A and B are shown apart, each in its own frame.
Chain A
């Protein structure tokens, strides 16, 4: 059946148009927590329309395999949505990207062989199929690798070796050359499996040199690739619905990865080829700098007397599973009439917006979760800044010290608060091994200990002070 005959299925086309509209509206309504769920349901409606429209397709003869596959997919999909912990959200997303991309790559492969049998592959279709399968397979293995690293099945630290970038580019280059050969003459059917294997290998190679800290960018980028792969499928199958959905997904993923890059003051090429995290810090002159430390009791007393408190959470808080206690502390302070806010850095967490989800789950009202650009002007007026599990994103050296590896990275200005408390295990420098001058400021006091235990003590102390009245 040709594309022309297909287009006469007017019911399908109309349903597709409405579905595509639903997708755009769904994203539009994600613009605020009040309308977000409406957005989600609109998205579900759009997807349902897409499926219904497709099922009326004249080419579909039997439904048994569709039903079996659909049931298996649902049975696996629901637990992946229902029982995944929110801290595991990044790896779940990576895994989900992998499945979507695999589907696109398999459909592309099938379309190629079928096109050969029927002799219907023109140059443009071949180009679209090549792009679809290249992006599909590399996103599949790339996402599986990202999943492995995030779930700590694979070593998180970036693995680099000499000539790595050359090897990576060579593999990608050969894959692209094979596609060009296939565009010139699609009947070189032996090239297809080689091309597919190269795409799969490239996905693995792409993620090997990337460290844990860069995962937010990489996940966003893979999100974008999965979408673009779907859009390419739309071109190959001449299906506008696929083009719209894929293009929206691609745009959203690209936008998020740009935000992540900006938040780390790095470029795409630097994330993909830089091998961040392996950067060896000069072991800094072991000059003994003076810092102050204090007990949770003292900190609780100061916070109790404060008018405004800004909590600066980092991923360390989630690692210590302290978010529920920290949220409790926030609510305890709010009940005393103290203005509590949480300052969320864009890269706090392992994927865009991750920290917000972790705190929302712990019952922090969303009004209290404030983005970096909005909260920064409030620090000079705030009485207490409480830093829990965050390090590099609070480092004032990023503003002033041009020799610092994180110079230029936007940070939370918590050093400007009247009093800063930093909850930390010890004075050891953090993940990136960069010393933080914040800890040696006059208005900073360290509270040493496990984030969860300290947060628990702070809650107890603050509540005790309440009953003293």
Chain B
């Protein structure tokens, strides 16, 4: 039985997966290179929120009826990744609202 598993050829999905990984990494580097230093902190908190994509795996684990152990692990993982996603997006929005062009700052100054 075990031999059969080990002997199995590398399935196609893995090649597709590697392909997707490499392409996404290059696309990622290309777009991120164009982000000015001005926005590097929001960039990091945004990508941090995106890394909460672990949520996808966690949801299945916590919702499928695999048994108590798995449901619990899944629920903790959903909680952790939701904190990551919600907190990350929230603070990125708060930060980006702070970046104001000169015209807006001057207006706010006059209004005082």
Check if A and B associate.
yes
Q: Is the CB of A100 within 8 A of B36?
A: no
Is A114 among interface residues, defined by CB-CB distance under 8 A? yes
User: Among the listed stretches A164-172, A236-244, A283-291, A402-410, which one makes contact with chain B, having 4 or more residues with CB under 8 Å of it?
Assistant: A236-244
A249 CB-CB contact with B under 8 Å: yes
Answer yes or no: A162 CB below 8 A from chain B CBs: no
Contact status B57-A239, CB under 8 Å:
yes
- A14 → chain B, closest Cβ, in Å? 15
* Choice from A185, A354, A364 contacting B2 with Cβ under 8 Å: A185
Known A-B contacts A24-B31, A219-B44, A242-B56; A81 and B62 likewise in contact (beta carbons under 8 Å): no
Identify A73's interface contact among B13, B46, B70, B86, CB under 8 A: B86
Q: Check A241 against B44 for contact (C-beta < 8 Å).
A: no
> A-B pairs with CB below 8 Å: how many?
399
How big is the B interface, by class? 35 or more
Which residue of B26, B49, B65 is within 8 Å of A47 (Cβ)?
B49
Chain B 56-90, CB within 8 Å of chain A: the 1/0 string? Answer: 11111111111001110111111111111111111
CA distance A363 to B112 in the complex (A): 13
Q: Does A226 contact B (CB under 8 A)?
A: yes
B17 x A114 contact (CB < 8 A): no
- Whether A69 lies near B90 (C-beta < 8 A) is no
Q: Which of A33, A239, A246 contacts B39 (CB 8 A)?
A: A33
A77 touches B83 (CB 8 A): yes
Query: Any chain A CB within 8 A of the CB of B20?
Result: yes
**Could you tell me if B109 and A331 are in contact, using CB atoms closer than 8 angstroms?**
yes
- Check A114 against B81 for contact (C-beta < 8 Å): no
Is A92 part of the contact surface with B, judged by Cβ < 8 Å? yes
A247 touches B63 (CB 8 A): no
Contact at B77–A250, with CB atoms within 8 Å? Answer: no
A57 located at the interface, meaning its Cβ lies under 8 Å from any Cβ of chain B in the complex: yes
Q: Does A351 contact B (CB under 8 A)?
A: yes
| Interface positions of A from 1 to 36, Cβ below 8 Å from B | 3, 20, 23-24, 26-28, 30-33, 36
Are the C-beta atoms of A97 and B41 separated by less than 8 Å? no
* Cβ-defined contact, B104 with A248, below 8 A: no
Asked if B58 and A107 make an inter-chain contact with CB atoms under 8 angstroms apart, the answer reads yes
Given contacts A27-B31, A103-B80, A241-B53, contact A60 B74 (CB under 8 A): no
Report chain A residues within 8 Å CB of B51: 97, 100-101, 223, 226-227, 229-230, 245-246, 249
With a cutoff of 8 Å between Cβ atoms, the chain B residues found around residue A59 in the complex are: 60, 63-64
Does A267 lie at the interface of the complex (its beta carbon under 8 Å from any beta carbon of B)? Answer: no
Given contacts A80-B91, A226-B48, contact A3 B105 (CB under 8 A): no
Bound together, the chains give a CA A235 to CA B18 distance in angstroms of 8
- Name B's A-contacting residues (CB within 8 A): 1-2, 5-6, 8, 10-11, 13-14, 16-17, 20-21, 24-29, 31-66, 69-71, 73-102, 104-106, 108-109
List 7 interface pairs A-B (beta carbons < 8 Å), by A numbering.
Answer: A47-B53, A73-B78, A74-B82, A102-B77, A187-B2, A246-B53, A365-B106
Q: Could you list 16 further interchain pairs (A-B, Cβ under 8 angstroms) beyond the known A59-B63, A65-B78, A82-B90?
A: A31-B34, A31-B36, A61-B65, A72-B79, A81-B91, A96-B49, A106-B58, A109-B73, A229-B54, A233-B57, A239-B57, A351-B40, A365-B100, A365-B101, A367-B102, A371-B36
